[in-house]
């Protein structure tokens, strides 16, 4: 049986449903720890390592070398600031996200190299190395931890579904960003494909009792009765 715990609650740089415009706070994604058997899966290590590692110890009494997997709901740099702190872990992302990000990066690198822009080429090499280090996640990460595609915000965004005894939990990433987005049925206006994001949002609402939001805490699905 799997279990989960939020390590760090994320935040939007500007919350549009609070009427905010322009960046008013540092943005970071919610980081969640999932335990399934001997596996310890850290989802979206968004904070810098010097902040994230103390949080991991405070919230779960877990050391970085005890993390067996790092799962990224997407490959946006904001979601993986602290990933280098887990070199022994297996890094995972959906195959669709890996391809959607990796192929354009290679094209940009070739353009920068051909243009003689060594600084940009080096930055792109670092990004490519991270994508290559991330393996394509299987449909089941571990028993009781299932991949759940949520494309829209990014081309290959995916969450993790935990069918627990008392509830079905979805670690949703930015497919469900905040409580206000959940209550108002809204998706991020910055989504790559808003229609796909809305479809993924609807699927999340249909399947989950509890949702770990991408920039918020654990939220109860307002369409479900309390259990």
pLDDT of residue 224: 76
pLDDT of residue 150: 98
Is-contact 92 67, C-beta < 8 A?
no
Residue among 179, 172, 162 nearest 79 (CA): 172
The residues, ordered by sequence, that sit 6+ positions from 111 with a Cβ below 8 Å of its Cβ are none
For 98, phi then psi, to 5°, come to -60, -45
Q: Please name the residue that has the structure tokens 């609807």.
A: 202
pTM, 2 dp: 0.95
CA angle centred on 96, ends 155 and 129, rounded to 5°? 100
pLDDT of residue 225: 61
pLDDT of residue 223: 85
The domain covering 2-94+137-220 belongs, at the CATH homologous superfamily level, to Ribonuclease Z/Hydroxyacylglutathione hydrolase-like (3.60.15.10)
How do the domains of the chain map onto residue ranges? 2-94+137-220
Q: In the chain, which stretches have pLDDT less than 50?
A: none
The residues, ordered by sequence, that sit 6+ positions from 180 with a Cβ below 8 Å of its Cβ are 15, 17, 18, 186
Alpha-carbon distance of 201 to 220, in angstroms, equals: 14
Q: Please name the residue that has the structure tokens 């999932």.
A: 34
- What pLDDT digit, counting tens, does each position of 101-149 carry? 999 988 898 889 989 999 999 999 999 999 999 999 999 999 999 999 9
pLDDT of residue 226: 59
pLDDT of residue 57: 98
């Amino acid at each position: 049986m799997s279990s989960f715990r939020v390590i760090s609650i994320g935040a939007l740089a500007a919350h549009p449903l609070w009427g905010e415009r322009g960046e008013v706070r540092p943005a970071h994604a919610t980081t969640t720890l999932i335990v399934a058997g001997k596996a310890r899966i850290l989802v979206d290590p968004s904070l810098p390592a010097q902040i994230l590692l103390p949080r991991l110890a405070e919230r779960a009494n877990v050391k970085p070398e005890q993390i067996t997997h790092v799962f990224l709901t997407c490959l946006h740099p904001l979601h993986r600031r602290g990933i280098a702190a887990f070199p022994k872990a297996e890094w995972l992302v959906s195959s669709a996200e890996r391809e959607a990000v990796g192929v354009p990066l290679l094209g940009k690198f070739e353009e920068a190299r051909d243009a003689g822009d060594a600084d940009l080429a080096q930055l792109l090499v670092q990004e490519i190395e991270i994508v290559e280090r991330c393996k394509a996640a299987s449909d089941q990460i571990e028993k009781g931890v299932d991949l759940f595609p949520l494309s829209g915000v990014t081309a290959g965004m995916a969450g993790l579904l935990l069918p627990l005894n008392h509830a079905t939990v979805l670690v949703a990433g930015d497919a469900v960003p905040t409580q206000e987005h959940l209550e108002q049925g809204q998706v991020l206006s910055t989504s790559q494909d808003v229609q796909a994001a809305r479809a993924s949002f609807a699927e999340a609402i249909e399947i989950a009792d509890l949702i770990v939001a991408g920039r918020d805490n654990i939220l109860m699905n307002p369409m479900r009765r309390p259990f």
